[in-house]
């Protein structure tokens, strides 16, 4: 079954973000460190209107730290973009976020022409304008897919639990603007996806991560996809987690073997597919296979030598 989840509240949230973007200084896009590609919203690039962007690769405790480092390098190579990671046990610091946001704003303003001061300008008015510019309140918009940890990051940056968080998608229902200090405001937003999830393999990874509401996906399909992927890419982790010396060759056979091993069987002896699917998916979400990155960044192209063909 194809995965698609774009309810009305996401359409509304996307429209509200687009309406606010002109008043925003920096966008923080929160990505899932295990799958930065699948969790990156393609609509955001056009919606950003060239605003600088800080990517926070969150849930880094669940990802392979070496691969997360490669992703950070990848995003740091983009124009007007910085990236940092954050994890349950090693949260990103407010001072670091503000430092990166200020740096991004300076970069963004560097290309802009200086305001023209007319010789007839009243010096008081000019001074007031300069003062206002200097003391302007800056706004950071926090965006990202559902359940990726946006509100947790907002709470961390503010230093208290202001935004509701929870381990299911669509906890945040509307925009919330919060004062961080005299100069900065943060705007938390509801998690959004986009109307058509073209890359269905990526959509299945999102479903596995917990970004798609349970009622919008078939648990068994997601588990079969995941079992096949884990068999191909992480067989040793499966062997260790489920204490299986040899692994069946296909995802379906693996799920059947796991069901029998863990008692996910109906009274009539048939496999309880929903129960065993839940077992595998919850084990992944809880990080019980150990830190695991499902995507790698594209290989960086070497910068050509000045006189290269």
Ligand X SMILES: Nc1nc2c(ncn2[C@@H]2O[C@H](COP(=O)(O)OP(=O)(O)OP(=O)(O)O)[C@@H](O)[C@H]2O)c(=O)[nH]1
Any contact of residue 291 with ligand X (CB under 6 A)?
Answer: no
**Considering only residues 36, 39, 98, 191, which one is a binding residue for ligand X as defined by CB under 6 A?**
191
**Considering only residues 14, 39, 85, 151, which one is a binding residue for Mg ion as defined by CB under 5 A?**
151
From 69-77, 168-176, 200-208, 291-299, span contacting ligand X (CB under 6 A): 168-176
**Where in 259-278 is the site for ligand X (CB under 6 A)?**
none
**Considering only residues 24, 104, 140, 170, which one is a binding residue for ligand X as defined by CB under 6 A?**
170
Any contact of residue 172 with Mg ion (CB under 5 A)?
Answer: yes
CB under 5 to 8 A by kind: which of ligand X, Mg ion, none does 251 bind?
none
For residue 53, the cross-strand partners are 27, 81
Question: At closest approach, how far in Å is the CB of 175 from Mg ion?
Answer: 11
Any contact of residue 150 with ligand X (CB under 6 A)?
Answer: yes
Any contact of residue 149 with ligand X (CB under 6 A)?
Answer: yes
Among residues 94, 187, 174, the alpha carbon closest in space to that of 138 is found at 187
Question: At closest approach, how far in Å is the CB of 116 from ligand X?
Answer: 43
C-beta closer to Mg ion: residue 39 or 172:
172
Any contact of residue 293 with Mg ion (CB under 5 A)?
Answer: no
Any contact of residue 39 with ligand X (CB under 6 A)?
Answer: no
Number of residues in contact with ligand X, rule: CB under 6 A?
24
SS (H, E, C) the chain: CCCCCCCHHHHHHHHHHHHHHHHCCEEEEEEECCCCCCCCCHHHHHHCCCCCEEEEEECHHHCCHHHHHHHHHHHHCCCCEEEEECECCECCCHHHHHHHHHHHHHHHHHCCCCCCCCCCCCHHHHHHHHHHHHCCCEEEEEEECCCCCHHHHHHHHHCCCCCCCCCCCCCCCCCEEEECCCCEEEEECCCCCCCCCCCHHHHHHHHHHCCCCHHHCCHHHHHHHHHHHHHHHCHHHHHHHHCCCCCCCCHHHHHHHHHHHHCCECCCCCECHHHHHHHHHHHHHCCCCCCCCCCCCCCCCCCCCCCCC
**Considering only residues 14, 39, 68, 172, which one is a binding residue for ligand X as defined by CB under 6 A?**
172
Q: How far apart are CA 139 and CA 23, in angstroms?
A: 7
CB under 5 to 8 A by kind: which of Mg ion, ligand X, none does 36 bind?
none
From 53-61, 124-132, 227-235, 245-253, span contacting ligand X (CB under 6 A): 53-61
C-beta closer to ligand X: residue 148 or 279:
148
Question: At closest approach, how far in Å is the CB of 167 from ligand X?
Answer: 3
Question: At closest approach, how far in Å is the CB of 227 from ligand X?
Answer: 22
Q: 24 near 45, Cβ under 8 Å?
A: no
Question: At closest approach, how far in Å is the CB of 87 from ligand X?
Answer: 5
Which residue ranges make up the site for ligand X (CB under 6 A)?
58-59, 61-62, 86-88, 144, 146-152, 165-167, 169-172, 190-191
């Amino acid at each position: 079954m194809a995965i698609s989840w774009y309810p009305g509240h996401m359409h509304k949230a996307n429209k509200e973000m687009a309406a606010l973007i002109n008043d925003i200084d920096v966008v923080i896009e929160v990505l899932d460190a295990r799958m930065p590609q699948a969790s990156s919203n393609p609509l955001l690039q056009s919606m950003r209107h060239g605003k600088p962007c800080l990517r926070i690769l969150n849930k880094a405790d669940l990802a392979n730290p070496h691969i997360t480092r490669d992703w950070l390098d990848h995003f740091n190579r983009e124009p007007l973009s910085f990236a940092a990671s954050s994890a349950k046990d090693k949260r990103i610091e407010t001072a670091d976020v503000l430092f990166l946001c200020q740096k991004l704003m300076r970069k963004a303003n560097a290309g802009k022409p200086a305001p023209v001061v007319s010789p007839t300008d009243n010096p008081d008015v000019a001074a007031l304008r300069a003062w206002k510019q200097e003391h302007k309140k800056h706004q950071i918009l926090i965006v990202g897919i559902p359940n990726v940890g946006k509100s947790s990051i907002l709470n961390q940056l503010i230093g208290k639990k202001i935004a509701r968080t929870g381990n299911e998608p669509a906890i945040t229902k509307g925009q919330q603007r919060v004062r961080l200090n005299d100069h900065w405001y943060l705007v938390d937003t509801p998690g959004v996806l986009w109307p058509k999830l073209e890359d269905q393999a990526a959509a299945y990874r999102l479903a596995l991560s917990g970004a798609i509401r349970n009622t919008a996906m078939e648990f068994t399909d997601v588990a079969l996809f995941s079992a096949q992927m884990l068999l191909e890419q992480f067989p040793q982790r499966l062997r260790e987690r489920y204490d299986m010396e040899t692994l069946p060759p296909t995802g379906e056979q693996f799920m059947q073997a796991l069901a029998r091993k863990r008692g996910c069987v109906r009274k009539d002896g048939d496999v309880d597919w929903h129960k065993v699917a839940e077992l595998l998916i919850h084990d992944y979400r809880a990080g019980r296979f150990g830190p695991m990155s499902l995507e790698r960044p594209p290989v960086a192209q070497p910068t050509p030598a000045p006189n290269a063909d």
